[in-house]
Amino acid sequence: MENHTIVTLKKGEGRTIKAGGAWIFHNEIDTITGRFKNGDVVTVHDFDGYPMGKGFINQNSKIRIRMLTRKPEQEIDDVFLRMRVQNAWDYRKTTVDTSSCRVIFGEADFLPGLVIDKYEDVLVVECLALGMEQFKVRIVELLKEILAEDGIQIRGVYERSDANERTKEGLAKVKGFIGEEFDTNVEIVENGVHYMVDVVNGQKTGFFLDQKYNRLAMQRICKGKKVLDCFTHMGTFALNAGIAGASDVTGLDISEYAVQQANENAVRNHLENTVHFRCANVLDELPKLAQAGEKYDVVILDPPAFTKSREATKNAIKGYREINMKGLKLVKDGGYLATCSCSHFMTQELLAKTVREAAKATHKRLRQVEFRTQAPDHPILWAADESYYLKFFIFQVVDEK
């Protein structure tokens, strides 16, 4: 809990939080006065004693302090937590379809290390920071109260704090119910498409909500078209293409479990005659399709993050270049390519450069239709670069003439 420890920064440090970000790294700190244990809320001072706010400290992590508030006099109590949760919910109500959405997005909602997704009447919680552990259950209670005020009754809460980031914080991985047990298969509807979300076994918190409006943007383009959806996961882009009236859709994924879910989702939407899924390693499969002379009106590339760290970015660039070259070869002259990256290390500029190289290598010309990012329920907090991760390009592909 809160104590009177004061953390003083070195002169010239704290640039991130001065710009509006949320993190203080281990090498930015000069002195710590007072007794504390990891996870405690401490007050941060600039080198000259100027109070900069409060955050929780963890000496297990390179991200030494995650800021909770800019107001040094602010008590981190129930009133504070309610305000943060209410603000997060009000923002979603204004900006997105809230039937299923991310309600709390960590640092970008000023609740660092905490993610809460709402799938219809179920909440899925992911806590990635030691200091947030003590507030987690209370925040869930407050969120349920706030949703109830809008007539939304939550029937169950499930925790998916099983990501590797927890080990960096000195935390064990946790997975299980918060409160009563309930049926963890949840049917959601997004852009008119029905999905069954398995919050226990699905990727991350069960479903990728961040591509919601990118999938919607593809509906317009896929009508009447022959479509290839690579790394389809639960079949999301493929099913959006199908519901928009695509003539023939193929979805590929390396995971048998994902393909099984995707096939079930196709049946759920009465699309099993036009949308087909199969298990394949996309990198191997695309050259085989090209060799067989296959061509598509629309190719969608939604690969997993090839890089989780700055060090691995070089190899990732090779991976993105390769996948885009293989994808471009399958697009008909005048057809469309959607390509994206969900790694924040793969910046917009870097992804653009990589796709440009792929187009050059395959003698294709690209006409940009639009550039998009993650849905607004995953707000991008300027100065907190890690909150901006999804980059999504739609191109028309024309042969060089």
Residues that are catalytic? 342
CA 80 to chain centre: 26
Strands of the sheet with 51-57, listed across from one edge: 23-25, 63-69, 51-57, 41-45, 2-9, 29-33
Q: Nearest Cα to 144, choosing from 127, 135, 133, 157?
A: 157
Residue 197 sits at φ, ψ, to 5 deg, of: -105, 130
**DSSP letter string over 83-118?**
HHHHHHHHHHHHHS--SEEEEEEGGGGT-TTEEEEE
Task: State the burial class of residue 377 (Cβ atoms within 10 Å of its Cβ: 0-12, 13-18, 19+).
Answer: buried
Q: Nearest Cα to 57, choosing from 35, 78, 85, 81?
A: 35
Q: Are strands 391-399 and 364-373 parallel, antiparallel or unpaired?
A: antiparallel
Q: How far apart are CA 63 and CA 380, in angstroms?
A: 19
Residue 26 sits at φ, ψ, to 5 deg, of: -55, -35
Beta partners for residue 335, in sequence order? 397
CA 263 to chain centre: 24
Give the number of C-alpha atoms closer than 13 A to the C-alpha of residue 117, restricted to the C-beta side.
23
By the 8 A CB rule, do 128 and 113 touch? yes
List Cα–Cα distances, 272 to 106, 234, 295, in angstroms. 38, 14, 21
Q: How far apart are CA 368 and CA 395, in angstroms?
A: 4
